[in-house]
Amino acid sequence: MMSISPHQVISAFDEVPTVGHCLVACITITSVLYGLYQWLLPNPVPGIAFNLEATKSLFGDAPGMIKEVSVTGEFRVWCAKQVKKMDSPICQVFIRPFSKPWILLADFRESKDVLMRRKEFDKSSFLSDGMECMGSFHGIYPTGDKFKWNRQLIQDLMTTSFLNNHVGPAVYSKGLDVMKLFEMKMNLAKGRPFSVKKDFEYASLDVMIEFAFGKNWVHTATGPQVELLSKLGASEVKFDALDQPVSFPIAPIMDFLESVYEAPEIVEKTINAIMPKLQTWWWSKQSWYKKIFDEKERIMKEQVAIAVNNYRSGHVKTGIEHMLMREGARAEKEGREPDFGSEVFRDEMFGDIVGGHHTTSGAMMWLAKYLTDWPQIQSKLRLVLYETLSTAKEENRLFTFEEIRRAKLPYLDAVIEEMLRINAVTVTREALCDTTILGCPIKKGTQIFFVSNGPGFLSPSIPTDDSKRSETSRAAKLNDKWDETHDLTLFDPERWLVRKNNGEGLLEDDVDFDGAAGPQLAFGLGPRACWGRRLAHMETKTLIAMLVWNFRLLETPPALSSHAGFEGIARVPQQCYLRLSKI
Ligand code: HEM
């Protein structure tokens, strides 16, 4: 049995806490907590401008940013504001707690240099973490072996021959579908405006599906809509005053199309989450999320199986079939069996479809809005189309795909470029090692945001000390013809044209389109720039030419004509209403 000595009893009494002990303990705990709090507070990188207030809160700039973005729907607007407030081409903001500040770079010359020439920067984990749900899609990989492996598989899909022979005719036929839908809506609306947001989205979705599956897939998103409206009697359409929009019923689309339609929204919400990986994990447990990705797996497996059969019988037409062909050739070279069951085919093609529809439909919506708001530009464009495609005009028919593809239309190119300039999203990169930008220290792992809607883009550049630029930036050829004194917020396509004569004409003989005339980050730049740019251009060019050729885009009421956007993987307008009359 244990016994307690008198000495032990006395020392036990000694250990009973006194007020003094408590005070010491409180002070120690408070000091430790205060030290921890100070340590967790945002820690600015020396020499880079920041918002002082943000360094006094654990949450840094996040509460202010979230408050503003919840109203505007746009992170880029908040970024541009910070740059202007700090009046510096490079500044830092504290968005994710307990991590490195994010760097905002608002200087086109240096942005171009980082994106195109500097090996110390690569795809950002800010984007990759938010795109985890896209599986083995190349857009989330750093520029290494996995990235190259996938890129090899899709190397045929942006070639001139694939675009002109497979994608172009699909673009043209989907364009005809959506023009038919517009005409039906126009007739039913009797001079009233109506939303075309879903129509552009569905048309673009149909293009991407045909790009991937060709005629192996028969369902479209626009088809059911056309069918629904064709059965709608004039008496079933509810009218109000002439300026009130007419709402049309929306036909349901197949589950797989719904999955493709919703996937970009999931990606966008995850990218913008404070903890994207946690969010993806949490969502992946939920039934609505599982439904989307289970459906994607089911259909992609079905489509790969059809494509494998076609490939084996010597028919290679669609996007997936070309990917299988590349894998077949690669396997043969490496002396192994092709791995057609790999998830890479399903994830890669799904990623490309997702990357292509939301972005391009957003671009077409902006164009429709701008051409409505600037009727002189609309008229000039129509005239240019009629004069350039004069045979079709004389024969009183729409141009063919071959005609529009071959037509040189510098003015239309400029219209598209100018729309892209105004609506570019914020491209990102990550530092792969400790380095510098504009002479400021940048630690490995830092996320860089290239602000493309602030100084140097939509307002004059902030003067920058050239000696602080990188060597490659200083060595690069400068373009000094861009006029920053002419209001940069205005939609003015002629900024992108170089005149060949003294007249005012806008045809091929009068002007050249110069895509390098001014700052442009709409498709990013460098090795990780947009892979689908050529397809996007073909689609916007064809569909917008069809729209302007067939219809007059009449003025819409101010309440339906806002230029507010939602920013995600693309910047899309919050509203897109048209009031059409047939030409
Ligand atoms: C107007 C339409 C489009 C816009 C504005 C747009 C914009 C962008 C931007 C800003 C990036 C990031 C570039 C960078 O980080 O430097 C990107 C990447 C990408 N885009 Fe597009 N895009 C469009 C259409 C398309 C289309 C039609 C496709 C598919 C056919 C596509 C596929 C991709 C892919 C796969 C990437 C990732 C490239 C990589 O990580 O290397 N995009 N796009």
Residue 440 in marked binding region = no
pLDDT for residue 39? 74
* CA distance linking residue 421 with residue 519, whole number of Å: 8
User: How far, in Å, from the CA of 356 to the mean position of ligand 1?
Assistant: 7
User: How far, in Å, from the CA of 462 to the mean position of ligand 1?
Assistant: 28
Are the C-beta atoms of 45 and 441 separated by less than 8 Å? yes
Strand runs (DSSP E) across 411-454, as ranges? 427-431, 435-437, 440-442, 447-450
* Ligand 1 pocket check for 359: Cβ under 6 Å: yes
| Atom in ligand 1 nearest the alpha carbon of residue 140 | 40
The CA-based diameter of the chain, rounded to the nearest angstrom, is 117
Q: Residue 357: which of 201, 539, 172 has the closest Cα?
A: 201
User: How far, in Å, from the CA of 530 to the mean position of ligand 1?
Assistant: 3
pLDDT for residue 6? 47
User: How far, in Å, from the CA of 338 to the mean position of ligand 1?
Assistant: 29
Q: Residue 416: which of 545, 261, 525 has the closest Cα?
A: 545
* CA distance linking residue 525 with residue 530, whole number of Å: 8
pLDDT tens per residue, the chain (583 residues)? 444 454 554 454 455 678 888 888 888 888 888 787 777 789 999 999 999 999 999 999 999 999 998 888 889 999 999 999 999 999 999 998 888 999 999 999 999 999 999 999 999 998 898 898 999 999 999 999 999 999 999 999 999 999 999 999 999 999 999 999 999 999 999 999 999 999 999 999 999 999 999 999 999 999 999 999 999 987 888 888 999 999 999 999 999 999 998 888 888 888 877 788 888 889 989 999 999 999 999 999 999 999 999 999 999 999 999 999 999 999 999 999 999 999 999 999 999 999 999 999 999 999 999 999 999 999 999 999 999 999 999 999 999 999 999 999 999 999 999 999 999 999 999 999 999 999 999 999 999 999 999 999 999 999 999 999 999 999 998 877 899 999 999 999 999 999 999 899 999 999 999 999 999 999 999 999 999 999 999 999 999 999 999 999 999 999 999 999 998 889 999 999 999 999 9
* CA distance linking residue 251 with residue 222, whole number of Å: 9
Q: Residue 50: which of 2, 95, 110, 10 has the closest Cα?
A: 95
Question: Tell me: domain 160-424+480-517+520-582, CATH 2.40.50.100, correct?
Answer: no
* Ligand 1 pocket check for 568: Cβ under 6 Å: no
Residue 426, sorted as left (phi over 0), alpha (psi -120 to 50) or beta, turns out to be beta
* Ligand 1 pocket check for 529: Cβ under 6 Å: yes
* Ligand 1 pocket check for 139: Cβ under 6 Å: yes
* Ligand 1 pocket check for 531: Cβ under 6 Å: yes
| Burial (0-12, 13-18, 19+ Cβ within 10 Å), 317 | middle
* Ligand 1 pocket check for 488: Cβ under 6 Å: no
* Ligand 1 pocket check for 566: Cβ under 6 Å: no
Specify the residue with its C-alpha closest to ligand 1, atom 19: 530
Q: Which two tokens stand for residue 268?
A: 């966008």
pLDDT for residue 27? 86
| Atom in ligand 1 nearest the alpha carbon of residue 425 | 10
pLDDT for residue 274? 75
* Ligand 1 pocket check for 507: Cβ under 6 Å: no
Specify the residue with its C-alpha closest to ligand 1, atom 4: 359
Are the C-beta atoms of 428 and 447 separated by less than 8 Å? yes
SS3 track for 227-286: HHHHCCCHHHCCCCCCCCCECCCCCCCCHHHHHHHHHHHHHHHHHCCCCHHHHHHHHHCC
* Ligand 1 pocket check for 580: Cβ under 6 Å: no
pLDDT for residue 60? 94
Enumerate the domain spans of the chain. Answer: 9-40, 160-424+480-517+520-582
Residue 47, sorted as left (phi over 0), alpha (psi -120 to 50) or beta, turns out to be left
Strand partners, 578: 194
Q: Which two tokens stand for residue 486?
A: 């002419």
* CA distance linking residue 212 with residue 227, whole number of Å: 24
DSSP notation for 406-420: H---HHHHHHHHHHH
pLDDT for residue 10? 45
Q: Which two tokens stand for residue 240?
A: 């109000």
User: How far, in Å, from the CA of 352 to the mean position of ligand 1?
Assistant: 9
DSSP notation for 454-523: SBTTTBPPPP--GGGS-HHHHHSPP-----TTS-TTS--GGGGEEESSSS---STTTEEE-TTSS---TT
Give CA 234 to chain center in angstroms: 38
Are the C-beta atoms of 270 and 279 separated by less than 8 Å? yes
Specify the residue with its C-alpha closest to ligand 1, atom 6: 523
Give CA 192 to chain center in angstroms: 31
* Ligand 1 pocket check for 425: Cβ under 6 Å: yes
User: How far, in Å, from the CA of 522 to the mean position of ligand 1?
Assistant: 9
User: How far, in Å, from the CA of 524 to the mean position of ligand 1?
Assistant: 8
